[in-house]
C-alpha cells in the first residue's frame, strides 16, 4: 500500500515538474542527438586556410589549381599578391590555421615548384593534422598538377606543449563552470531574502554586489592556474592584463546569461538545467580546443558565431602566443557589445521577475 502511495506521489511530482522533465528527458537528448550532425569527420577537412600568391607571376589558373587541391582538406581563402602579411595576421588571429604561399608554374609540366606552408607552433592540436595535411597536399598535387610540387612546412611562433595549450583552455572552462553552475547556485540559495532586499534595497543592488564581488573572485582560479603553470615551467601568461580582461569580460556575459535564465524561470529547477545545457552546448560547439573546421563545416560555422570562441582566441592569443591586445581589437569590441546585450537581457528578466505578476 505504501509503495502505491509513493508511486502516486511520484506521478504527481512528475506532473508538477513537467517542464524540467521534458527538458531533461526530451529536449536535452534531442539536442545531443541532433548535435551529432555537427561531428562528421575525425580529421580536419574544413579548417579555413589562406592561399597567398608568392609573386606577381602566379596566375589565376595557379590559384584555382591550388584552391582545388586544398579543398580536399581545408576551406581555402584566397589573398592577393602582397597580402602575405595580412594572411599571417589572420593566422595569428585564428581566422585561418595555415597559410599556403602559392608558387607560379603549378600548371607547367615538370616544373619544380615549392609550396610554402605556415602554421603556428602554439596551435598545438593542429600540429599533427598540419603534418598530415602537408603530406596530403604533396600527394594530391602530385596526382592532379602537372608540376613537381614540394611542400615546405614551417611552424612559426614559440614551441608549446599540449599541456601549456590546455592550461589556457582550462582557465576558460573554469570560467564557464563558475558562471553557469556556481553563480546561479549562490543566487538561488539566497532567493528567500529577495523580498526583504526588494523592500530595503533592490534586486539591482543585489546583482551589482554579486558582480562586483564574484568577478574579481574569478582571479583566484586564474592565479591558481598561473601558479601551477609557473611551477611546471609552462610558458603561459594567464595574468597578462589583456588575458585577465577578456577572462573577466567572458565571465560577465556568461553570468548575465545564466542569471537571466534563472530569473526568467523564477529560479525553478528547469533554469538550472537550461544553464547546464547551455554550458555543455557552448563547450561542445565553441571549438575551445580544436580549430574551427574540425569535425564539420557546420560546427565551424556554429563556432564562428559563438562569442566564447572569440573569447578563447583572444585569451589564447595573449596568454599563449604573447600577442598584444591590439591584435584583437575588433574581437574585443564585439565581445564588449555582446556583454552589453547580455546585461540588457539580464535586466529585462529582472524587470519581468520584479513586476510581472511575481508571487511566492
Total binding residues toward another protein, as defined by CB under 8 A: 17
Q: Closer to another protein at the Cβ: 201 or 305?
A: 201
Q: Closer to another protein at the Cβ: 194 or 290?
A: 194
Q: Closer to another protein at the Cβ: 194 or 211?
A: 194
Q: Work out whether 326 is an interface residue with another protein (CB under 8 A).
A: no
> Is 75:50 a contact under the CB 8 Å cutoff?
no
Q: How far is CA 112 from CA 89, 103, 117, 147, 250, in A?
A: 29, 10, 16, 6, 49
> Is 140:178 a contact under the CB 8 Å cutoff?
no
Return all residues near 322 (Cβ < 8 A) that are at least 6 apart. 158, 237
Residues numbered 247 to 266 that lie near another protein (CB under 8 A) are none
- Binding segment for another protein (CB under 8 A), chosen from 84-92, 138-146, 186-194, 251-259, is 186-194
Q: Work out whether 212 is an interface residue with another protein (CB under 8 A).
A: no
Q: Which residues of 220-229 are buried (b: 16+ CB within 10 A; e: fewer)?
A: ebbeebbeeb
Q: Closer to another protein at the Cβ: 233 or 360?
A: 360
Place of cell 609540366: 109
Which of 60, 110, 200, 233 lies at the binding interface for another protein (CB under 8 A)? 200
Q: Work out whether 189 is an interface residue with another protein (CB under 8 A).
A: yes
Q: Work out whether 208 is an interface residue with another protein (CB under 8 A).
A: no
Q: Work out whether 201 is an interface residue with another protein (CB under 8 A).
A: yes
Q: How far is CA 345 from CA 164, 237, 323, 333, in A?
A: 36, 33, 32, 18
Cα 49 from chain centre: 18
Residue 94 dihedral angles phi and psi, to the nearest 5°: 60, 25
Q: Closer to another protein at the Cβ: 333 or 351?
A: 351
Q: Closer to another protein at the Cβ: 311 or 349?
A: 349
> Is 122:320 a contact under the CB 8 Å cutoff?
yes
Closest CA to 204 of 337, 341, 340, 354: 354
CB of 213 to another protein, least distance (A): 13
**C-alpha span between 253 and 236 (Å, rounded):** 24
**C-alpha span between 46 and 70 (Å, rounded):** 10
CB of 205 to another protein, least distance (A): 9
| The dihedral formed by the CA atoms of 334, 338, 340 and 343, expressed in degrees to the nearest 10 | -160
Q: Work out whether 196 is an interface residue with another protein (CB under 8 A).
A: yes
Q: Work out whether 192 is an interface residue with another protein (CB under 8 A).
A: yes
CB of 359 to another protein, least distance (A): 6
Q: Work out whether 152 is an interface residue with another protein (CB under 8 A).
A: no
Q: Work out whether 190 is an interface residue with another protein (CB under 8 A).
A: yes
Q: Work out whether 358 is an interface residue with another protein (CB under 8 A).
A: yes
Q: Closer to another protein at the Cβ: 1 or 199?
A: 199
CB of 196 to another protein, least distance (A): 4
The 31-70 contact track toward another protein, x by CB under 8 A, reads ----------------------------------------
DSSP code at position 193: G
Q: Which residue ranges make up the site for another protein (CB under 8 A)?
A: 189-190, 192-201, 355, 357-360
Amino acid at each position: 500500500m505504501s509503495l502505491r502511495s509513493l508511486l502516486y506521489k511520484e506521478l504527481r511530482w512528475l506532473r508538477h515538474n513537467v517542464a524540467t522533465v521534458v527538458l531533461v528527458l526530451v529536449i536535452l537528448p534531442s539536442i545531443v542527438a541532433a548535435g551529432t550532425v555537427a561531428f562528421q569527420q575525425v580529421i580536419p577537412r574544413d579548417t579555413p586556410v589562406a592561399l597567398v600568391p608568392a609573386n606577381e607571376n602566379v596566375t589565376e589558373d595557379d590559384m584555382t589549381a591550388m584552391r582545388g587541391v586544398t579543398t580536399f582538406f581545408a576551406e581555402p581563402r584566397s589573398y592577393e599578391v602582397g597580402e602575405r602579411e595580412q594572411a599571417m595576421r589572420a593566422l595569428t588571429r585564428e581566422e585561418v590555421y595555415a597559410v599556403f604561399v602559392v608558387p607560379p608554374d603549378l600548371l607547367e609540366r615538370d616544373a619544380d615548384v615549392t609550396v610554402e606552408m605556415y602554421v603556428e607552433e602554439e596551435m598545438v592540436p593542429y600540429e599533427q593534422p598540419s603534418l598530415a595535411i602537408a603530406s596530403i597536399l604533396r600527394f594530391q598535387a602530385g596526382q592532379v598538377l602537372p608540376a613537381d610540387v614540394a611542400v615546405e612546412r614551417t611552424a612559426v611562433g614559440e614551441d608549446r606543449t599540449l599541456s601549456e595549450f590546455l592550461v589556457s583552455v582550462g582557465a576558460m572552462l573554469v570560467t564557464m563552470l563558475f558562471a553557469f553552475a556556481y553563480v546561479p547556485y549562490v543566487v538561488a540559495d539566497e532567493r528567500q531574502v529577495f523580498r526583504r532586499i526588494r523592500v530595503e534595497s533592490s534586486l539591482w543592488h543585489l546583482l551589482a554586489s554579486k558582480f562586483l564581488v564574484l568577478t574579481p573572485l574569478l582571479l583566484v582560479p586564474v592565479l591558481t592556474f598561473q601558479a601551477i603553470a609557473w611551477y611546471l615551467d609552462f610558458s603561459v601568461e594567464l595574468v597578462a592584463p589583456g588575458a585577465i580582461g577578456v577572462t573577466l569580460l567572458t565571465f560577465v556575459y556568461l553570468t548575465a546569461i545564466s542569471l537571466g535564465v534563472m530569473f526568467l524561470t523564477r529560479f525553478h529547477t528547469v533554469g538550472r538545467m537550461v544553464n547546464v545545457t547551455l554550458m555543455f552546448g557552448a563547450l561542445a560547439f565553441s571549438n575551445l580546443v580544436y580549430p574551427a573546421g574540425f569535425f564539420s563545416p557546420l560546427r565551424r560555422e556554429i563556432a564562428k558565431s559563438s562569442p566564447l570562441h572569440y573569447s578563447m582566441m583572444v585569451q589564447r592569443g595573449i596568454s599563449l602566443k604573447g600577442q598584444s591586445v591590439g591584435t584583437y581589437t575588433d574581437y574585443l569590441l564585439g565581445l564588449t557589445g555582446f556583454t552589453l546585450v547580455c546585461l540588457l537581457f539580464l535586466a529585462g528578466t529582472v524587470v519581468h521577475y520584479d513586476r510581472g505578476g511575481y508571487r511566492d
